[in-house]
Amino acid sequence: MDLVINKTSLNGMIDIPSDKSISHRSIMFGAIAHGTTTIKNFLRGDDCLSTLKAFQDLGVEIEDDGEVITVYGTGFSGLKQAKQAIDVGNSGTTIRLIMGILAGTSFSTELFGDHSIAKRPMNRVMLPINQMGAECTGHDGTEFPPITVKGTENLQPIQYQMPVASAQVKSAILFAALQAQGKSVIVEKEKTRDHTEDMIRQFGGEISVSEKEISITGPQKLVGQEVIVPGDISSAAFFLTAGLIVPDSQITLNNVGLNPTRTGIIDVIQQMGGTLTIQETGSEANKAGTLTVETSNLKGVEISGEIIPRLIDELPIIALLATQAEGTTIIRDAEELKVKETNRIDAVATELTKMGANIEPTDDGLIIHGKTPLYAAKVTSYGDHRIGMMLQIAALLVKDGTVELEKAEAISVSYPRFFEDLNNLY
């Protein structure tokens, strides 16, 4: 596909797509709760629709009238064995979190996905779930999908020190712990996004969090709720970056979720000297706000340590931002980028280098030397939605020639109307 969108400035207002993480979890919690859950502003991207379909396969009645999704919860015990293997598509969130839910069932379930999912490591979830008494096995004895989960109704609690900073792994264990007989304690390596903890409380569950230690006692019964999904800051990140680096730009983004475990990119923008204003609009339970950015002179920074889990999905677009900042930006402690939809460290370095960026991959991150002009090239998303969107934003800086993006269709995974929203800016 040719990237035909090439503007000299970007001005206007965008309603950012709904939060992907919360959309996934709203279906999951609605399914395992007792009673009815209604979900407004659900993200109808490919990944979240994979979660919706997975729970329909498990016997949960889910209606979608185009505005509101209604989930008729069965409780954990009401889930039924799927008639065939469950296809999670491209969604790592779906496969990893659902493993924790299936751990307490009385049946076996096979989970598989696309070629990208088939390469994603699952031991990080399989090992703790197996310690709790379920039996999770990978393809031909490996840790890779297809994964078979043989549940047990006698799930045991766990004391678990997380070896990686991963909200997906933590969430899978929490879903299993909700069904276990007794108190589980999870200690995080670094604090990661806490949507699962928040939604356990929202659905009437009990959970205790003290710094990096999480305690939860099962079994628990959850109750259906109304969920209003805020906009996704990970999707907003692409337009935040565009507004900062494309000349003569000012972009306002409405209803962006501002959960503190997700707002690392805002901290980085401010550290780099970006002009960003925030008008808070949400509630205490669902923090949200209107964000406005404008073209700024940026400076390089170091990004490492405990902030990394708060911006792990935004690092590809932050790398592009850094190519337009004066000085060097160093990203460290981001090994998790290697096991996303693709190896995002290598993908970012390879594709931006094609366009003229001065960027070096390292074992755990990137070193970006700015400020550099970008040039036309033939690039690929590798089938990774965030790489695809990052490269379209990069193409806006190209003055001569055409940037061609292969596998642009991957963007629909999280942002189906991305190109339409970009086109509507002037």
Q: Which of 57, 87, 194, 313 is catalytic?
A: 313
Q: Mind listing the pLDDT tens digit for each residue in 359-387?
A: 999 999 999 999 999 999 999 999 999 99
Between the alpha carbon of residue 282 and those of residues 256, 387, 419, the distances in Å are 9, 29, 27
The stretch 96-117 carries a mean pLDDT of 97
Q: Which helix (H) or strand (E) holds 37?
A: strand 34-40
Beta-carbon contacts of residue 271 (< 8 Å; ≥ 6 apart): 301
pLDDT of residue 352: 98
Between the alpha carbon of residue 406 and those of residues 10, 59, 191, 377, the distances in Å are 24, 38, 35, 11
Residue of 35, 77, 96, 84 lying closest to 56 (CA atoms): 84
Beta-carbon contacts of residue 342 (< 8 Å; ≥ 6 apart): 116, 382, 383, 384, 387
Beta-strand ranges (E) seen in 115-273 are: 135-137, 147-150, 159-161, 182-187, 208-210, 213-218, 226-228, 250-257
Q: Mind listing the pLDDT tens digit for each residue in 152-185?
A: 999 999 999 999 999 999 999 999 999 999 999 9
pLDDT of residue 263: 95
Q: Mind listing the pLDDT tens digit for each residue in 249-288?
A: 999 999 999 999 999 999 999 999 999 999 998 776 678 9
Residues 155 and 183: their CA atoms lie apart, in Å, by: 11
In this structure, what are the phi and psi dihedrals at residue 56, rounded to the nearest 5 degrees? -65, -40
Residues 299 and 269: their CA atoms lie apart, in Å, by: 10
The neighbouring-strand residues paired with 217 are 183
pLDDT of residue 285: 66
pLDDT at residue 413 tops 70: yes
pLDDT of residue 336: 86
Residues 357 and 362: their CA atoms lie apart, in Å, by: 15
Q: Mind listing the pLDDT tens digit for each residue in 10-63?
A: 999 999 999 999 999 999 999 999 999 999 999 999 999 999 999 999 999 999
pLDDT at residue 2 tops 70: no
Assessment of whether the complete model's pTM goes beyond 0.95: no
pLDDT of residue 221: 98
| Band of pLDDT at residue 3, cut at 50, 70 and 90 | low
Cβ(53)–Cβ(89) below 8 Å:
no
pLDDT above 90 coverage of the chain, percent: 92
Mean pLDDT of the chain: 95
Residues 108 and 128: their CA atoms lie apart, in Å, by: 18
Cβ(298)–Cβ(325) below 8 Å:
yes
Beta-carbon contacts of residue 287 (< 8 Å; ≥ 6 apart): 230, 257, 258, 259, 260, 280
pLDDT of residue 301: 98
Q: Mind listing the pLDDT tens digit for each residue in 211-242?
A: 999 999 999 999 999 999 999 999 999 999 99
pLDDT above 70 coverage of the chain, percent: 99
Q: Is 400 an annotated catalytic residue?
A: no
Supply 46's token pair: 């490919």
DSSP state of 360: E
The neighbouring-strand residues paired with 14 are 253
Between the alpha carbon of residue 144 and those of residues 7, 120, 121, the distances in Å are 42, 6, 6
Peptide bond into 371 cis (omega under 30): yes
pLDDT of residue 4: 57
